Amino acid sequence: MLLTLCAVARTGAAQPQEAGWISYREAYRAMVTFAKYGKAKNFLQNHYQVTPKDPGQSLEGVRLTLTGRTTQLNLPLDPTGRTVLPLLKAAYDENAMLVLNRNASLFTFQPRLSIVPRVDGIYEGQDLRMACDQALQYMRYTDPGYASRQCKGVRFAFVPKSDAAVRIRDPEREVTLVPELGPAFDGEANAGFRVMTYRFADWAERIHVISQNAPVAIAPVIE
């Protein structure tokens, strides 16, 4: 399940090695911050993300594996390059490696915060505002640079060839958001996703946001 953040937790991003691997310990330290975070995060989830630095580079065929003396796990990547990184003490203690079947220096490795999606695809406007605020509070916790930023909305991202639609419904009208091509998350090189942005300022709080298809990511828009 994935609903995702437009702001990325860049703090503690692992440094890639030329040989096609990065340190699991570095990734673990970057990810454990969210696991230990004690404030509200019930609308949020955190994944580990591998993204190409070159806009023309595809994730097709890219594989990530956790490899250690006693550990061997394939970590499947979703269309945005995210995976669930297990926090394993044994792998940490034995200094396991995250092995990429590509030149690791051509990719960025980092935590990626996102909002948990609903199975039924129907979101309360107030819940999305709370989710965005939870994300912003966490980003401020990890990066003081977010102190002056504000939640502006939520972006739904779908695979490029999808015919997915996102509708906003209030007591007086129902509007389908205009789709665009863009990145699932701000600052990413891959701008080929089908995205639709629900901006809080355009709507009352008590509305419903309806996604007829499961998004690959839902990213809070923080500006």
Mean of the pLDDT values across residues 62-75? 97
Cα–chain-centroid distance for residue 185? 7
> pLDDT grade, residue 11 (50/70/90)?
very low
Quick one: pLDDT at residue 186?
92
DSSP string, 49-95: EEEESSTT---TT--EEEE-SS-EEEE---TTSEE-----HHHHHTT
Count of the separate structural domains present in the chain: 2
Quick one: pLDDT at residue 73?
98
End position of a domain, from candidates 83, 111, 139: 111
pTM of the model: 0.89
**What domain range includes position 188?**
115-222
Quick one: pLDDT at residue 76?
98
pLDDT in tens, 150-194: 999 999 999 999 999 999 999 889 999 999 999 999 989 999 999
Which among 135, 147, 152 is positioned nearest to 41, based on CA atoms? 135
**Segment holding 192, helix H or strand E:** none
Quick one: pLDDT at residue 14?
57
Residues 136 and 105 in one domain: no
